[in-house]
Amino acid sequence: MPEVTYLRPENIQDAVQLYRTTPGCRLLAGGTDLMVMLHAGTLRPQPRAVLDVWSLRELKGVRRVGDALEIGAAESYTGIIRSADANRYVPALVAAARTIGAAQIQNRGTLGGNLANASPAGDTLPVLLAYDAVVVTDRRTIRIDNFFLGYRKTALQADELITAVRVPLDRDVVFRKVGTRAAQAISKIVMAVCRAPARVAVGSVAEVPMRAGGAERALAEGDVAGAVGAVAADIRPIDDVRSTADYRRAVTQNVLRELLDAFTRE
Ligand SMILES: Cc1cc2nc3c(=O)[nH]c(=O)nc-3n(C[C@H](O)[C@H](O)[C@H](O)COP(=O)(O)OP(=O)(O)OC[C@H]3O[C@@H](n4cnc5c(N)ncnc54)[C@H](O)[C@@H]3O)c2cc1C
């Protein structure tokens, strides 16, 4: 592994300053994605420095801010799972956090890391889409709809740091992940649905985590069968080592039907 300078700022102001002024610098939160890529030598360009934001107090915690729940970018999945406010207001995000890796990964993995890594299979990402979350950075807010620009490409600028994620308090969202196993598996498909406003968000079925527009339009009109029919055309799955495109289309429809049935049973 090539030599990399390790930087650990004391506070958010120093972190922002260092990130803007250190050439070839990469942020390090829990390291569960970054360290794997660093060791494998797959990061392009190879970083010359890493800036460790894991311990920054300003990026931790789950708190109510007005009519939203604000989750610090470097808050771990374990922190989210243990938060009474997260369980009360954003249970679908807690459900997604519980499916991520095993305990070691939940102790270190962060929401900011999941967002910035922008894997199409990132488990929290459809949930954040279904909640209409807002990504807060050191300089602006970005609606989650505008965050994923392409395969692992986000709206973040090269020296922009996510500080928090804001999720509205009043949404009823449900979540489901289909993997090879119930936990510790990369998703074959992952879905989150909000009944009102109608949101159908899906992961692992396109180059980005996406909202299914046709399904949402049908759902907004109360047409459950129409939504299930439309979602197969909305998504853009591929064949890969985990699944075929046809399998993903069929499973996406089944999962949407199940989640919508769960709403009608309530
Ligand atoms: C064994 C294993 C199992 C896993 N299982 C799952 C799973 O089931 N589901 C799933 O979704 N993921 C899974 N992952 C992937 C990973 O754990 C998650 O994506 C996690 O959320 C990454 O967070 P992190 O803090 O570790 O990110 P890091 O590895 O520290 O960083 C990831 C990327 O985000 C950037 N970054 C980090 N913080 C910020 C910030 N505040 N602002 C801007 N950029 C930032 C980094 O520069 C880097 O590019 C797994 C990983 C492993 C190793």
The two structure tokens encoding residue 125: 């990402």
Q: Which CATH number characterizes residue 79's domain?
A: 3.30.465.10
How many domains does the structure of the chain reveal?
3
Closest alpha carbon to 15 in 5, 4, 25, 24: 25
Task: List pocket residues of ligand 1, CB cut-off 6 Å.
Answer: 26-34, 36, 53, 73, 99-101, 105, 108-110, 112-114, 116-117, 122-123, 161-162
Cα of 29 vs centre of ligand 1, distance in Å, is 8
Q: Are residues 251 and 195 in the same domain?
A: yes
Residue 22 · residue 13 · CB < 8 Å:
no
CA of 96 to the centre of ligand 1 (A): 14
96: containing domain? 57-168
Conformation bin of residue 56: beta by default, left when phi > 0, alpha when psi is -120 to 50: beta
Mutate which of 33, 119, 188 for ligand 1 pocket (most atoms within 8 A of beta carbon): 33
182 and 155 in a common domain: no
Cα-Cα-Cα-Cα dihedral sign, residues 26, 153, 203, 248: negative
Is residue 183 domain-shared with residue 135, that is, in the same domain?
no
Which of 117, 128, 152, 202 for a ligand 1 pocket mutation test, highest count of atoms within 8 Å of Cβ? Answer: 117
**pLDDT by residue for the chain (266 residues), tens digit each?**
668 999 999 999 999 999 999 999 999 999 999 999 988 988 888 899 999 999 999 999 999 999 999 999 999 999 999 999 999 999 999 999 999 999 999 999 999 999 999 999 999 999 999 999 999 999 999 999 999 999 999 999 999 999 999 999 999 999 999 976 555 556 679 999 999 999 999 999 999 999 999 999 999 999 999 999 999 999 998 888 777 889 889 999 999 999 999 877 76
pTM of the model: 0.96
In this structure, the answer to whether residues 20 and 93 fall within a common structural domain is no
111 CA: nearest ligand 1 atom: 21
Residues 102 and 24 in one domain: no
